[in-house]
Amino acid sequence: MELIDGNKIAAEIAAELKIEVSAIAGRKPCIALLRVGDDVASISYVRKKEKTAAEIGLESRIILPPVTISQAELFALIDQLNNDPGVDGILVQSPLPKHIDEVAVFRRVSPAKDVDGFNTLNLGKVAQEDETGFVACTPAGIMELLARSGVDLKGKHVVVLGRSLIVGKPVALLALQKKAGANGTVTICHSATANLPAMTRQADVLIAAIGRAEFVTADMVKPGAVVIDVGINRVVDASKKSGYRLTGDVHFVSVAPLCAKITPVPGGVGPMTVAMLMKNTLKAYRLQACG
Ligand code: GUN
């Protein structure tokens, strides 16, 4: 079993980006990070994005509207950023409060600044294999992780567990694309899939993105499979100082010995999401600078 080291691969990408950014004379690329309210996980994700941006030499603007902000007010804030020539990329951290329509917010972000890749146009471009758009960061990070770990999806059965807009659907489309490294045969499973273990056992590459702690157990995995664990779940653990520990959607201890390769949590897909966000921000800057 080989552990896929997301921290190491993300650091390689960050180092590559840092060189590119250092060559930019004048205004550096800038990302606006919008976090509504005080969701505990979102606080740490946005902090990590801010920190990584600084390490690479990107500017960031942190905007923290209160949880009570109305949808109309949030739209106005996004419009302001859409029209601000000093801002290249805009990210609205998910989840948003219940009274706000998240998809409507993602649509409000200008496609040219949509470094999260959740806007309708950019999701459509993934389906059309049009590389002028932005690919959502976690799916893009998974593809990069596979490519840099020497996993070619051509001829492989890729089973995606989860159909979210943020991970499941776009990663399935990427794995399906007709390009080097992709060309997978893709199955998407979800909460209404019958006989799930029989489906996941067919996977040469299993991508678990269902948001349920340690859901994937050894009986659900084919020996020799590559397992990508996208979940980041907080489970209560009295033995930890914080009172909780982070765990993935895969029951790592029992599944890992079966696998050819597997990503850990933390330190697998998570850092790649941040690295791809930085890459998208540089892309947005270049697209805007070039008109
Ligand atoms: N919440 C969980 N993952 C993501 C992500 O990639 N982008 C945003 N904006 N919110 C998230």
pLDDT in tens, 79-125: 999 999 999 999 999 999 999 999 999 999 999 999 999 999 999 99
Same domain, 75 and 197: no
In a domain, 6, yes or no: no
Number of Cβ within 10 Å of residue 218's Cβ equals 15
Give domain status of residue 201, yes or no: yes
Q: Which residues pair with 235 in a beta bridge?
A: 245
The residues lining ligand 1, judged by C-beta closer than 6 Å to any ligand atom, are 91-94, 116, 137-138, 166, 273
pLDDT > 90: percent of the chain: 99
Whether residues 157 and 238 share a domain: the answer is yes
State the chain's mean pLDDT as an integer: 97
Query: Total structural domains in the chain?
Result: 2
Looking at ligand 1, which atom is closest to the CA of residue 94? 10
Decide if 249 is inside a domain: yes
Residue in 88, 114, 116, 249 annotated catalytic: 116
Burial label for 261, CB within 10 Å (0-12, 13-18, 19+), is buried
Do 178 and 259 fall within a single domain? Answer: yes
239 and 165 housed in the same domain: yes
Q: What is the pLDDT of residue 288?
A: 85
C-alpha to C-alpha distance for 175 and 156, rounded to whole angstroms: 10
Do 199 and 95 lie in one domain? The reply is no
In angstroms, the CA 228 to CA 156 distance is 14
* Tokens 């409000």, located at residue: 108
Note whether 164 and 219 are same-domain residues: yes
Among 31, 138, 165, say which to mutate for ligand 1: greatest number of ligand atoms within 8 Å of CB.
Answer: 138
State if pTM tops 0.95: yes
Q: Are residues 264 and 171 in the same domain?
A: yes
Distances (CA, A) of 244 to 7, 166, 233, 239: 21, 25, 10, 8
Find the catalytic residue in 88, 93, 114, 125: 93
CATH for 36: 3.40.50.10860
Residue 128 bears catalytic tag: no
Distance 94 CA to ligand 1 centre (A): 5
- Residues 194 and 235 placed together within one structural domain of the fold: yes
Distance CA 207, CA 139 (A): 10
Give nearest CA residue, ligand 1 atom 11.
94
Q: What per-residue confidence (pLDDT) applies to 54?
A: 98
Domain extent for 212: 137-270
Residues 160 and 258 in one domain: yes
Residue 185 exposed, middle or buried by CB count within 10 Å (0-12, 13-18, 19+): middle
